[in-house]
Structure 1
Amino acid sequence: MPLITTAPLLLTERLRLDAHTLDDFDSLAAMWADPEVVRYIGGTPRDREDSWGRLMRYVGHWALLGYGYWAVRDKVSGAYLGGIGFSDFQRDIHPALDVPEMGWTLVTSAQGKGYATEALRAALAWGKDHLPGDKAVCIISPENQPSLALAKKVGFRENHRSEYHQSPILVMHCPL
């Protein structure tokens, strides 16, 4: 299978998932600086430098691994709603994550409206045809009840518990 080097376009009823661009940087940086967005993702708002590195990783995953993160946009307005996708961050987690890790982050105004469910289902459907192996993994803080409910809704199940940066996490698997 040839390597995919940029995020392919995925369309859902309300969303457009496509490649991150430089034009997304200000919106992405504002999202990661929002204390509500990062409450269960380390708890510390990120600065623009961190967000710049994140944008580079999102794009770089596609170029090097053939999978990565999509920008999630409102299909009608084009507004940036967040990011979702697959990664290999080489996290220091034991046992090691041996398959693509799925993650999602939405701006506060887009949360609780079903957008994440819609985007996750589209990304998982793409993953079934394009990712190596037969499963995806995600890591979630046990305190992050909204993300745990979402993960379970789309098919993730707890595999084991571990720690990441001295914080407890649930490692969840989803068949592709």
Structure 2
Amino acid sequence: MANRERDKMSMNSAMPERKEIAPAMTTIPTLTTERLILRAHRLEEFENYADFWKQNDLMRFVGGEPPSREQTWARFLRYTGMWHHLGFGFFAIEERGSGRFVGEAGFLDSHRDMNPTTEGTLETGWAISPPLQGKGYATEAIRAAIAWADGTFADRRMTCIIDPENTPSLRVAEKVGFRRIGETVYKGGTNVMLERWK
């Protein structure tokens, strides 16, 4: 028993203190726009989420190949878990009228292995189902997410990285206030790095 207590104490003393980056959240906010609802991902929707990420047109600028089911599950859990640990994450986007899943948008700190890095910033991202692109949903969703973040993380830098050939996403970024600040290489590909100017 004494050995167990000693081991437990030495483990606890070796653990670094958790840095509070933001208040942890157990309830993810719901944001409503004219046509959309941004809300928490729901476990029962995972199959739809997995189908969403299988769309080849969606993956053209996000890694190229559709992810495996295992990779999609890890993404689903990561985006949900960020809310608990960091106080921000990705929202599921649904159409207000139909309840149809449109895509997702929000913020992450993924500790990407790249230089320059986005680590420590609110890295902003969005993905809209290809059949629903061109309707302004990405701009509408990310504007709502940014308005929420501005009220919660007023002093936090906001960045994003976009494939230089992804003209529609570059336009969305510029519409919501991002400006190009350079380039970064991630997984062998060059990306435009942008920062939002308030």
Alignment of 1:46 with 2:67, yes or no, is yes
1:81 and 2:88 equivalent? no
Q: Residues 72 and 66 (structure 1 numbering): CA distance in 2 closer, same or farther, change over 3 Å?
A: same
Secondary structure in 2 matching 1:93: coil
Contact 1:71 1:82 in 2 (8 A): yes
Q: Which moved more, 1:151-160 or 1:132-141?
A: 132-141
Select the residue among 177, 187, 190 that pairs with 1:155. 177
CA distance in 1, matches of 2:184, 2:125: 17
> What are the ranges of 5 or more consecutive residues in structure 2 without an aligned counterpart?
1-21
Deviations along 1:43-92, one digit per CA (max 9) or x if unpaired, are: 11112111111110111000100000000001122111111000011001
Mapping of 1:1-176 within 5 angstroms?
Answer: 2-97=23-118, 98-131=120-153, 133-176=155-198
Post-superposition offset of 1:132: 5.8
Tell which structure's C-alpha radius of gyration is larger.
2
- 8 Å contact 1:10–1:18 — kept in the other structure? yes
Q: Is the 8 A contact 1:5 1:64 kept in 2?
A: no
State how many pairs are aligned: 176
TM-score, normalised by the number of residues in structure 2:
0.85
Normalising by structure 1, what TM-score? 0.95
Structure 1's consecutive aligned runs of 4 or more residues displaced over 6 angstroms after TM superposition are none
**Higher RCO structure, 1 or 2 (CA under 8 Å, sep 6+):** 1
State the SS of the aligned residue for 1:90.
coil
Gaps of 5+ in 1: none
- Aligned residues: percent identity? 42
CA RMSD of aligned residues (A): 1.4
